[in-house]
Every structure is written in structure tokens, then in C-alpha cells.
Structure 1
């Protein structure tokens, strides 16, 4: 072995050339999402540094943010850090929404627009921040956003990255690094992610180096002096092939004639390596590096000097020595820390227990006077110093602050660690456990909250009442998650047995079990729970609790067409005093809006929605706002407000994909819209997410609507067996549930399917069953659908379809009214076709024009002029869109009621106008 070791790291990248080549060949050319995962020390940061230093990226603006392990609550922290580097940068063509970043980025005050007026809606405010970030990134030109160590990110950063990566600006690439083993739920973004078609997606999983690569790495560090195969083999064995450990171990061998230690674990290797490196440095340097290891985050000279117990001048001199020795580095201006968390941990582990404790006490003194106080750090130092009372106080205060600023990940982590403390009295365990349950339940973006509450329930110190409260929160949380409703009902039943001392919470649990639209439990089993809740409402003195219970009771009864509900709604107050009461009133009104949308009281639905969203915004209820937004999307579909609806629903689905009630409703509307455009693959995908595959774990009216959509899709493609099978499954769910008014979308297509498959007697029986099921129910949408059903089977259909049209128009259900008018044989098909076009119902418009041609009446030209030059005509736009959906020429012809030859000509024109050479390229251009 050579005697002179001069480098602390390799001057060349070793073992990652293929990965680097993939990145360099992709990132500069197009919008790219890069996800780099690997264990600590594996070389993620080195690979990113090599990428950013490559000449091909010289024209790209580089922004880098780091997630910190011991961080204070700060939503969007890593991305905000990255954006700070834009200080002084000119931002061109930026919209006013970018001003939403002003409070977070005072450094950019001279280039950002004025801050917009507050919206008052937490969801809308948050979404505006996401949009503002995207605006800024789009305005700086070609850029690369790097976020390192995503396993330590706050939920806001994850949500912001999901938003950016779902539809990044065309000139932005995003690179994230993370350690999967340290991720909660093992998903770097909190949810599954798939890049959009127009974005290149790269996942790199870095593995340890093999023996040959370790030999090359050692030779490069040793400045090309020979490295024997035997030495490389032993070095690989000792370091597990982790590049950072290889580098540090070789550095520690300086002057030892290259003798490798006997086989020991990697942490011990690093500890000994840093001990050797520090051996020749003066005592002051030792004290500073020990202070840095205990602080755990990059710190300035003043903090380091206080913790080390020396003056600032001495600390500066020590920092110079430590930097020269490669022990500490200036991580950002005037902030000093270790190059890697493994290095920090190695030095920390080398300290004796009493020395560590004294340094933690000094850290508390150094941090206590900061404004605002870094509560997370104070809590951690108190815990490690053995100051249990301070640890409990700072820890709970830090959790409360994290909850206030919207960082539930920090809050749940702290509360869990507080609960792990032995010998806590039951009163404190109860308080912390219920607080943890509330934080987990209230959050929208945190990771694996169900597992969090499961762990709380395993704490034997919990009182029975507190256990019941936490179990109830767990059950309520499960209801929001796909595939958990049946399990949620069992959990909530068990909670009721534990809540005998809390009749208010037991009533809330019963209200959830009685909520009619959750799961496939027969309504006959749910009504007794509602009656139990109503009895408690009659004796309850708390307005907040009464409103909370009425939100479930009134919404559930209205959803099943109880004719007494709308008149009883007047008993709800129009204004309340406290935030808690306002939150429950908001929920009640939003639940009523959803039920009105289901039953067809669309004007009332809009009225309840407007007041409910306003109240939810005032009360800070993000989950209520989320459900209101999806209700609004479904309401807009029924009432023909389709302009921008697909884009809005898609955006919201990206936000709320993990919230079952919201995501399934949005998917239903996206499926219905896709059917109207003839986009069969998209329709099938969206409708498959409505609960049709697991009705027991669905929002039942939405799942029934999903069956209706799928049946309509298969019938439109003349796949009668598939349509018939779906109809049977949908009707089975309706009969099992026992609520026929929810078949307003399903019954008409079921009758059509029975007739198409030669089963008119079954169609007649279904109509009678439907009529009996909705008799006496306050459900105008279902009654309009009944007239439509009768028109499908009648020998004289026009009067029934006219009645359906009149009923639908009275509800402002414009699309359904148009369908009824078309079936009634309207004489103004050209106008109807044009209206379908304006609405965006491409297939319906094409069907009307096909009917005109079949009658020998020339179809009038569609909207717009005849000459389009190099622009796509409306018909060519339709063709291009369906090509991007993956439909063949024959399938497109069936959707648009054209001949395959005509479609072939349209495709050729589209390819020529867009400059595409293939259908695949056309799909990317239009996607």
C-alpha cells in the first residue's frame, strides 16, 4: 500500500457512469423527473453534483434545497430554500398569483408581484401557493430544481413536489434524492407517482459498489498509486461498498502503511476514521467539532462558540483548521456542518456520555434565547440531556406549533416520541394520545396516519375512554381510505363499547355507522343507528355536538329521499359563535349539498355549497373544503357547467387522490366526461376508481354511478355481454343497499341494455321495481329518470321522453334534458349538435349529425370557418385527441360516426399540420 494519502474524495465519479449518462442525455433536452434513491453514503449527492456540473447543463438555472433531519416546522421548507437563490433574478411574464410567495420569500420582494388578497379558504390558499411556485419556476427559463434527502421533508414540500411533478413547466426538470428505508410508508412523495406522458421519468436506485469499482475508487483517491486486488477485496468487505465509507476509511489510513482494521461494522469504521483525522488537531478544534456534532444542524460561529465554551475568535480559528482537515464544511454562507450525516453521527458516537450531556445542556443555553425559539431542537437537546420535564414541555409545544403551521409530520413524530416516555401518568398519556389522534385525523397529507393511531392504541397506559376516542378517530380516518370502510365499521363499533363514559363521542360514532352513503351496509341496518343519534340530539346541550350529529343525520336522511328533511333544515342556525360550531355547521351544509346533488335538488345544492364552503374557510376545515370541491364538480356536471371541468377535476384528483370520498367522486365525473367525448380508455380507467370493484368500501351512490357509466360505455361500443354484466352488478348493489333513488343514472341504461339484449320483460319488471322503490321519496332526479325509462320501453315513447326532458330542464340538468330531447325525436338536431359541441360532448354531437345524414338531411358545418390553414379544424382536433388516447382509426370512426377512410384522411392531415411522423409522436404532441 502507498504511504501518502492526499485526497478525501475521488476526483472522478466511480461506478455511476451509466446513471450519469442517462441523466445528461435527458435532463438538458426535455422536462424530466428524476428520482434517486439509495442508502446513506451511497453517492446520491455526488451523482447530482456531477450532473449539475456537466457542460450540457450550463444553460440551465440550478436551484437546490435540502431537507433537514432536525428541522423546525416550516411548510415547503426545502423548495423555499431553493427559491431563495433567485434573489436578484429577473422574472419575465409572471402572473399576479406569484405574489402569494411574498410572505415566504422576502428575499424576492423586489421581483415578485404584490401579495394577493387573502382568500379565506385554506385549500384555495394552499393551492395558490403551489400555483405561485410553478409560475416562478416557469418564468426563470430552463431550470433544474433539486431537493435532497426527501425522507426528511415536511408534508408541504411533498405536496408541492407532487403538484410540480404532476405537470411541470415545459422548461423545468425536478431531481429528488431520498433514502427509502427512512421513508414513512416507503413512498417518497407520500403517494404513488407516475410522470405524465410529456415528461421523462427516471428512477435510479443506487447500489453499493462492487470490488472492481472500489479498487478504482481507491486508486483515484490515492492518486493513481497501485492498489492490489487483495487490498481492494478487503476494503470492499470492510466498507460494504459504500463510497462515502471507502473515502473516509482511506483518509484515516494516512501514515499507517495502509493497514486495514479487522472486520468491524461500518459505524465503528467511521468513528475510528474521524478519531484518527482529529488526532493531530488542537483541543479547540475538537471542542468545535464536538459542538457541531451535538447541534446536529449547520450552525454559525456564534452558536458553535457558545456550545463549545470558547470565544468567537477561537471558534473561527478552529473552523479554519477543521475545514482544511476536511472535517467540517461551509454548507451555506456562514453556516458550518458535516459533509454527510454519517460523519456527524460518527463524531457524535465518539463522545462519552457525560461529555455529550454537557454539550446538549450548552446547546439548550445557546438556543433558548433565539426568536422564535427552535422548539424542535430544544426538545431534542432536552431529551438527550436527560431533562425530562423540559423535554416533555418543549416537545408538546413544538408539536402544537407544527400543527398550527400545517406540518403534521413533525407533530405526529414528536407526539409519538413523547408517548414513548416511560412512567407517564395516565392523564398525560390520554392528553397526548388524543392530541396525536386529532392531528392524524385532521391532516390531509401526512404519511401512514392509520399505523400511527394503531401504535397509540397499543399503549396499555391509555384509559378506556381515551382509547375509545382514539379508536373512533382511527375508524373515521379509515372511512376516507380506499378498501378500509368495512374494517372502519368494526373499529367504530368497538369504540362505542369503550365510550360508555363519553355519550357525546358514542353518539358521533353511531352517526358514522348510520351514514347511509358509506359502504354497502343495507340501509335497514343503518337507520337504527340514526334513530339512536336523534335521541341523543334531543337531550344534548352542546350546539357544537348537535351540529356535528345533525350533519350526519340530515345528510343521510336527505340522501335517501326522506321528504321531511328539507323542511327540517330550517332548524339549522345561519350563524354561530365559535370556530368549532362554525366548523360543524360548514360540514352540515356541505353534506346537505352533496345529498341534494345525489337526489337532484341542484338549486338547493348550490345554495348549501356556497354557504358551506364559506363557513369551512372561516373555520379552517380543509377536509370539509375538499369534499365540497368534489361535490361542486359533480354538481357542475349535472347542470352542464363543463367549461374547464375536466381540467379542474384532474387537478383536484391530483390533490386528493388518497381521500376516498373525494377521489371517487372526481373519478366518476371524469369518467362521465370521457364517455361524452368517446375516450373509452380514459373512461374505463376513471370509472374503475369509483368503487365498482369493491362496493363494500365505496361511497355507494358514486359506485352505482360508476356502474352506470361503465354500462353506458360498453353499450356505446356494442359490447352487450359486458354491458349486461355491469348492469347486473350495479342492480345487485342497489337491491342490497335498498335505496332505489340512487339508481337515477343506472336505471335508464339498465333498461336500454335489457332491451338491446332481447329481454323486454326484465326491462318492464325493472321499471316497476324502480317506480316502487322511489315512490314517496323526495328525489326529483330519480323521478325524471323513471319517465326516461318508460320512454325506452313504450310503444309510444315521445310523451315519456318529453316528460323526462321537462323534468330534467326544471332541475337545470341540461345534458340529461338534451339526451331526453334527442330520444323524443327533436326536429332541431342541428342546433342540438351544435349545443353538444359547445358543451364538449363530442360523441353526442357526432351522433346527431350521423342521424341527420341517415335521414338524408345534410349536416351543417360545425362551429367556425371552413379554411383552417395550418391550424387544426374542430374535427381534426377531435381526431388528434382520440389518437392521443390510443384509439385506432376504426375505433375513432365508431366514436365519431365516420368511415375509417375519412378518419385515415383526418389523421394524415393532423400529422402533417403538427409535424409529427407517427401516431406515437402525435400522442406526445397533443398530450
Structure 2
């Protein structure tokens, strides 16, 4: 029975200095495995179906090179689009080419002698020619038998026939004959384009294989967006490809690998282009020249069309989107019957496609563009003007398309009207990308009057920071500030928007803050914008500016809006100021939050309400109101999705990841954070927070190199241009890493640097993780007085603040100091720290506190040799480390779990598994999975042993088991293997 496999990946693409195809096969695992399974289980027949350029040949090449088929002989035939092909020519060529390389494994049947006249090159192995028959049909049958006998004698053979849709009918008949009874050790593999064979059946409806033979149809489809992204990265040497660029590239190429390759080849700087997003990504692709091969193909296909079919096709190219028969008829002035005939001709020629019910267009944007540029300029202008006239009658009007057609028709006033209307409409529904692209295109127009520039610049400033497109809009605002046409009354608004955008970009916080400060002087005549600028400067997380300065701005905003009659503006400022106060632990913040409305009247107000909820959730996640944060986050995301606010959603997704980290929901978190980081890498507040999460997770699993890389990406080296809570917690994670590596002197140095930042910023409220780590680091190197000063300053600074995480850290600091001094109160204080962390809830930090408590009790019991009542509950029993190891394992903190198990072994305690030992067969065990991950990161056996608290010999055994189970020959092969290797 035929086995159908559908897919979505394939080949690759490039540019001048870049390779032309991918060095690895991307996204074809299922298809390749099917080919391998059938090719190794002969007799079998495989039909590989897919449109032109989709990557059929590439997957066949992978099959030929695969080690599972090392003992097979391959015969390859390539059909060509010839007007009068030679009968059997392509198949005989394949046999002829193999003649000098193949020796029959069995004696040839006498019937194969008939091939002497067809294949004189094989005369050395063929028997004498039999007596000629005088019946054409009998001769033909004997020829077919001879070919089958020869293939059977060749033994384990795969015959590959590429592009079967171009084969002559005689060759098809021969293949049908073979398929009816395949040779015993033979595999037939054919590739074809379904759209170019009658009825989509490459060998016709009457073709049947033997019931005992295995037949598969593998459908090779275009790439999806993810496949385009991964394939492009592989072609360009594993460089970063922005999700937005990948989406634009997919839209332009329809995910067809050959078209993708040609598109990348046409870009001037593909490695740089693929990092862009938004309007710039679209513009780079649209401005890229249509590849010569695609232009030639378009011209060749157009030349075969009748005049009416050609005009209809060119009209469809000008329209730019799938069009109805009626619209094409109105545009060309053809009758409905005439248009249908023209469309049928263009579809049969493979240049137009049915793109949905009763809509016709091109397979991909490049095909459309190739046809578009076959039109002379005056004809293009005429058709654009006609399109604008026809589309203007629609209700509602397609404003973006009307703007585009008016622009290319040279109708300047119409373009201005429609583009501005399209921007207004997009801004209202939260489509910031469309709004900004329309306004940018207009503002780049040299003929705009100053009044138009001022109006449009104001609109761009108001919509610029609501979307995800950062760098392109930033550049547009910078150009506006140097544009002499920009009225002075709008300059402050433009500068404020520029400052907001710069504040979201790596390295731009300081310059953004400067721009906003300068904008305040230019906004004195616009009170609401003036207050808005102050509310941005009030945000406490920006850079290393002391919280006292932020508090002063918060007070200015509160006073300015206290009697503000505009409810919408009050909501907007409340969404800024109340979360800012909450983030620094001001108890009064909750009174301000209570003033938030439960519903709104406009989409603009709903966006502000969504922003307020998400900002509150973010602030709660930093000070320790974790459960409250979860509630506000859910409502904020719901509101943001309802009104279309992509930037708010992006920050909320980072907040959710942060909450999952602190509350112990780690399953799949590292992968989710990495995906989000790739998507939002250009948004500093989002990317830096995600880097912190990935770094913290890497510390908990002992992946030191990865942890250090992610933590550095938070902005630790340049705190003036970073988000302060992120950097403070990055120092805390770095302390945990250095302590785990026993680099105590270095840990004390980092503690000093982190604490100095906290002192300068006055940011003790965010130092709940850092201060206990700093105290511990200083105590380890004997700096008791310094540790006491830090703990005392922290204790004083957070007293009276609404900061549950800081409150949980206070007894930890005092407990560490008490334990160092031999104070009996240490146990009670450490127990209190554990319980407060449990109640937050912060299970990872609760487990760390419990481990400190356990170590203190065990050491105290060992020192005293007198187990008091405190030991009666087993808390001083080293076996408690076993329960802690299971807690850490449940979270995913494998390094911490290994440390606890090592403590068990140190104290001579053996632990039996509660679940019993299970066998993993050929699957990797959890321990082997962990070793595998460390090897992939480039760690040596000695380094792995140190992290996992194992002997080097034990690690060597685990590595050998991993390589054996994954059927790999070396560590290097493992490093380049996909991370998903649990199933083998």
C-alpha cells in the first residue's frame, strides 16, 4: 500500500560571498527516513513528488550519500525537456554510464543479449544477441525483459529517474513494465512534478506494482517560516536570521528552496540583511533585483502565451494580490469568457495559479515581480491608475493597496490621502508596522509641504513606540530632527519618541535618557507630552541613576496629573507611575493601582490598561509578589491581544518567563526563553531579561560557559546602558556560579562590584538574591566585617518597603552571619529564610536555603557530638541531603542535585531510589542525557566530572554509552548532532 509523507523543508540559498546551498539538509528528516526505509527494503518503488525548485534532487543526493546504503549500486537517469526525445534514451544512458563500473553478480540470461545493439559499451558482459524476431510487439517485450534481467543481475541496485514528467512515452512504458514485477534486490526511485503529469499520476492510472512490492509516495513540500529561517542560517554559516526577515523571505519565495537561494544571491549583503526586521526587512527584499534565472523563466513562459493570456498575466502582476475573474476583466476590458480562457492558458503554462476560491495570482512574489518588470513604464503607470480606479469602488476601501497603486501611477495627492488614511486606520487597530511603514514612506517624499511634514511626523512619533520595529523607525526619527521642514512645535514630540525607542535598544539607554531630558525643554507648551516625558524619566529600572532621582520625577508626575480632567491621559500616566512606585517597594503604590478602571471605552485606553496590568506584573515579579504578578499578567496579555499591542505582549512574555523561573516552572523554560530571545533580540528590556533567565538556568545545571555568556548579555559590563534589576540579579547568578566552581576570591570581587552598583543605584529592593550571595562570598574569604556591613545596610534599606523577596532574604543574611560566629540562632534564622521563600513561592531559593540549613545542622552535630532535640526530627541526619537532591532534580537544577548527592557520599550515606531502578535500553538515561548536554557544550570529561561530582572514569563510561546508543563515532559528531536525541 502506498505510504504518503508530506513535508516542508529542503534546499538553500546564498549571495556572492556565501555558499549557494545549505551544507546540511534542513527539515527533511521524515522524508529522508522514508526513502532510506524503502531503499533498504527491496524490491521497492519510491515516487518523490514536488514542484520545481522545492528540493527533490537535494534529498535524493542525501539518500545516495547515506551510510545505510553504502552497499548499493546507483544508476541515475536525468530526463530533459526535449521536443523529440530518443526512445528509452534516458534509461539506456543510465545503463550505459554504469557499464564500465558494474559487474553482474549473477550469470546473465541469454535474453539480455538483445541489448547489444542498444548498449555496445556493455558488449564485454552481455551474451550473444539472440535471433531477431519479426514481430515489433514481441521485440519490444523481449527488450523490456532484457532490461529487467540485467538489473536483476546487477544485485542491490537503485535506479533513480529524475524529472519523470519529461520522459518519453517509451521510457514510461518500460518503467511500468519494471514496476509490475521489480527485480528482487532492486529499488526504483523517480522524481516528478505533479502539476506537469496528466492527472498527477507520473506513470498513468493503469500503473500497478506487484502486491508483494513496497511502494511509497514522498511529497516534498515548500518550507514553512521556521524552515526558511533555519535554512537561511545554514546557508550563511549559522548566522542569526531574524524571525521577521524569515517571515518576509517566506512570503516572497513561498518557501521554495531554489527561489530562496536565488533571492539570497541577489542581496548585496545577505549576512547583514537577514538580521533586520520590520519595514527594513521588507524593503531590502523588495529592492533586491529579480534573479536572472527567474526573469528568463518568466520571459520564456510569457512568450508561449497568446496576447490575451499575456495581458491578463501582466495585469495580475500589477494588481499584486490574487484577483478575481471579474476584477481582471474590468482591468483588461475582456469579457468574462475571454478572461477565463486567458486564465486557463496561463495556469496550464505554470505561470499563474489558483490562490484560493476563484482567485488567481502567482506562486510567489518574485514570480510576480519578474512578470511585472516585463511591462514598459507607461503601461505600468496606466494599469496602476486603472487598479486605483477599480479598487476605489470597493466598500470598505483597501487603503494600503489604493495608496500603493496611486503612488506608482504618479498620483501624488491621492497617494498622500490614502497612505495617511491607511496609517490612521492601522494605528487604531494596533497594527503599528503598517502605520509606521506608511508614514515613513510619505515622510521620505521630498515634495511634502512643512505642514504635511509636521502633521505626519507627529503621527509617526505617536505610533513609533507601540510596535516592534525599532531601528528603522529610529533612523526615520533621527532624519526628521535634522529636516528643515519639521516645525519647531513638533520637534519635542519627535525627540521624545526617539528617546523612547533608543531606551529599548542595546547601548541606547543613556542616549535615550539624554534625548528625553532635552525633549522636556522643547515640550513646555505641550503639557501632556511634558508630563509623559517626566514619567519616562521616573522609571526606576533605567541605567545606574540613583532611585532618589527617579522618586523626584515620580513626584512631579503625581502632582501634574492630580487634578488632570482628561481621564484617558490620567490612565496613561497611571500605567507608568504606579508600577514604577511598586517596583521600588513603595507601599502607597497599591492605592494608586486601585484607581485603575476595570474597563475602557476606546482601543487606545485599552492599550494603556493592558500596559498598566503588564507593568504591575513586571514590578511584582522583581519585588516578590509572584502570585499577584501572575494574575495581572494574564489579564494584561488578554487586554493587549484584544486591542493589538505587540510591544506590550513582547514584554509580557518575558515577564511570564521570569515568573516561571522564580516560581520553579522550569519545564521547557530554557527552550522557550531561547526562542523568545531570538524573536525579540533587538528589544533591550525583553532580550536582557531573557538572557538573565537562560543564564540562571545554565548555572543551576552547571553549564558554566553558557551561563557566563548569557549573564554577560544582560549588560553587566555597562550598567549605565542596562536594566538595573536585570543586572543586579545577573551579579547574583554569577556569585552562585563562582561559588559552585569554588572560585571564592573571584566571587568576593564580583560581590564587591555588584554591591557597589546597588549602593550607587540605591537598589537594595532588587538585591534579594545578591546580598545573601555577597555575604556568603565575603565570609568565605574571611571578610566578616564587610559581610556585616552589607547585611546591616540591606536590613535598614528594605525596612518598611513592600518587598516580600527582600524580607525573605533578611533572615538568610543574619543566619549566615550567626552560623559563622557559632550563634545558636543560626538554625532558626535559616529555617525562617527557607519558610519565607516557600511562601513567596520561590522553590529553588527555598531549596538552597534548606541546603544551607541542612549543612549547618550536620556540621553542628558533628562538632558538638551531641544530638539535641533538634536532631530528633532527622534534620541533622546527612540523609536529608537525599530529599534535597530530589527537590532539585524535580526543578531541573541538576548541578545542585549532584552537589547534594555528593554530600551524601561524603557522609557515607547510600540512597536507594524511591521508584526503583529502571532499564533504559537503547534510550539515554537521565544521567546520560546530562552528560550528553555537557559534551555538546564542549566540556572535557574532567570538567564534566567536576560539575556532576563524579569520577572521571564514571564520566568516561557515560560518554561511551551515549556514543554507542546514538550510533556516533566521536564526541565531535555528538557536538554537531541535534539536541533532540532522547529517542534513538
Match of 1:633 in 2: 657
Determine the C-alpha separation between the residues in 2 that align with 1:515 and 1:27. 45
* TM-score normalized with structure 2 length: 0.65
The reply to whether residue 867 of structure 1 matches residue 919 of structure 2 is: yes
Report the counterpart of residue 761 of structure 2 in structure 1.
737
Aligned to 1:330: 351
In the other structure, the counterpart of 1:805 is 834
Deviations 1:576-597, CA, capped at 9 Å, x for gaps: 4443333323322322222222
Deviation at 1:712, TM superposition (A): 1.5
> Normalising by structure 1, what TM-score?
0.69
User: 1:314, 1:870 → 2: CA distance?
Assistant: 65
Deviation at 1:341, TM superposition (A): 4.3
Superposition pairs of residues 563-642 of structure 1, within 5 angstroms:
563-642=587-666
The alignment status of 1:783 with 2:786, answered yes or no, reads: no
2:562 is paired with a residue of what secondary structure? helix
Per the TM alignment, residue 538 of structure 1 is displaced from its structure 2 partner at its CA by 0.9
Tell me how far apart the structure 2 counterparts of residues 582 and 606 of structure 1 sit (CA, whole Å): 19
The counterpart of 1:453, out of the listed 466, 477, 482, is 477
Provide the rounded CA distance (Å) in 1 between the counterparts of 2:274 and 2:793.
50
**Structure with max Cα Rg:** 2
Residue 638 and residue 920 in structure 1: after superposition, are their counterparts in 2 closer, same or farther (change >3 A)? same
608-617 or 521-530, larger mean C-alpha shift: 608-617
Deviation at 1:823, TM superposition (A): 0.9
C-alpha contact (below 8 Å) 1:408/1:446 kept by paired residues = no
Alignment of 1:57-96 (within 5 A): none
User: Match of 1:224?
Assistant: none
What's 2:508 paired with? 484
Task: Return 5+ residue gaps in structure 1 as ranges.
Answer: 1-14, 33-47, 61-138, 166-170, 193-204, 209-239, 253-273
Contact 1:290–1:347, Cα closer than 8 Å, also in 2 = yes
Residue 623 of structure 2 contacts residue 765 of structure 2 at CA under 8 Å; is this kept in 1?
Answer: yes
Change in Cα spacing, 1:56 to 1:611, as seen in structure 2 (3 Å) is closer
Q: In 2, are the aligned partners of 1:59 and 1:142 still within 8 Å (CA)?
A: no
Cα gap change, 1:503 to 1:372, in 2 (>3 Å): closer
Alpha-carbon distance change, 824 to 764 in structure 1, aligned in 2, over 3 angstroms: same
1:145 pairs with one of 223, 233, 240:
223
Cα separation, partners in 2 of 1:438 and 1:174, compared to 1, 3 Å: farther
Query: Residue in 1 aligned with 2:851?
Result: 822
TM-superposed CA distance for 1:346, in Å, is 6.4
Residue 660 of structure 1 and its aligned partner are, at CA, apart by 1.6
1:896 aligned residue = 948
Matches within 5 A, 1:541-560: 541-560=565-584
Counterpart Cα distance in 2 of 1:553 and 1:851: 48
| Offset of residue 724 of structure 1 | 3.3
Question: 1:144 touches 1:175 (CA, 8 Å); kept in 2?
Answer: no
Residues 1:172 and 1:915: Cα distance change in structure 2 (over 3 Å): farther
CA distance in 2, matches of 1:17, 1:770: 59
Q: State the structure with bigger RCO (CA 8 A, min sep 6), 1 or 2.
A: 1
Distance 2:907 2:423 in 1: 72
> CA, structure 1 residues 815+421, in 2 after alignment: closer, same or farther (shift >3 Å)?
closer
Deviations 1:287-323 (A, max 9, x none): 8898678667787886666556676788899999999
Distance 1:833 1:511 in 2: 47
Structure 1 range deviating more: 539-548 or 501-510: 539-548
Residue of structure 2 equivalent to 1:126: none
1:493-892 equivalences in 2 (<5 Å): 493-794=517-818, 795=821, 796=823, 797-825=826-854, 826-827=875-876, 828-861=880-913, 864-892=916-944
Segments of structure 2 that go 5 or more residues without pairing to the other structure are 1-13, 32-50, 64-216, 233-240, 251-255, 279-284, 355-359, 855-874
Matched residues, number = 735
CA deviations on 1:627-681 (whole Å, 9 max, x unpaired) are 2232232223222233333333333323322222122222212221221111212
What are the Cα deviations for residues 411-448 of structure 1, in whole angstroms up to 9, with x where unaligned? 43332232345665555433322222333322225762
8 Å Cα contact 1:163-1:654 kept in structure 2: no
* Whole-angstrom CA distance in 2 between matches of 1:646 and 1:319: 51
Does structure 2 retain, via aligned residues, the 8 Å contact 1:559–1:595?
yes
CA positional deviation for 1:406: 6.8
Q: Secondary structure at the match of 2:536?
A: helix
- Deviation string 1:385-419 (CA, Å, 9 cap, x unpaired) is 44333222222233345556776544433322323
- Cα displacement string for residues 677-710 of structure 1 (whole angstroms, at most 9, x for unaligned residues): 1121221222122221221121101111011111
Q: Aligned partners of 2:660, 2:392: CA distance in 1, in Å?
A: 54
Q: Equivalents in 2 of 1:711, 1:329: separation in Å?
A: 63
CA contact (8 A) 1:804 1:820 kept: yes
- Checking the alignment, whether the CA contact within 8 Å between 1:522 and 1:738 is kept in structure 2 is yes
State the Cα distance separating 1:487 from its structure 2 match.
0.8
Secondary structure of the corresponding residue to residue 330 of structure 1: coil
For 2:540 and 2:739, how far apart are their aligned partners in 1?
A: 30
Distance (Å, rounded) in 1 between the aligned partners of 2:290 and 2:445: 37
Alpha-carbon distance change, 779 to 21 in structure 1, aligned in 2, over 3 angstroms: closer
TM-superposed deviation, 1:735: 1.6
What RMSD in Å do the two structures reach over aligned CA positions? 4.7
Q: What residue number does 1:396 align with?
A: 420
Q: 1:866 offset after TM fit, Å?
A: 4.1
Match 2:57 to one of 35, 54, 57: 54
SS in 1 for 2:585: coil
Is this contact kept in 2: 1:301–1:335, CA < 8 A?
no
Q: 1:450 to 1:862 in 2, by over 3 A?
A: farther
Q: Distance in 2 between matches of 1:412 and 1:698?
A: 27
- 1:908 aligns with 960
Quick check: 1:24–1:56 contact (8 Å CA) kept in 2?
no
CA–CA distance in structure 2, aligned partners of residues 817 and 158 of structure 1: 38
Q: Is the aligned partner of 1:348 residue 2:376?
A: yes
Of the three residues 181, 187, 190, the one matched with 2:273 is: 187
Sort the Cα spacing of 1:30 and 1:521 in 2 relative to 1 into closer, same or farther, 3 A.
same
Q: CA deviation at 1:511?
A: 0.6
Name the CA distance, whole Å, in 1 between partners of 2:223 and 2:512: 40
Encode CA deviations 1:95-136: one digit per residue, 9 max, x unaligned. xxxxxxxxxxxxxxxxxxxxxxxxxxxxxxxxxxxxxxxxxx
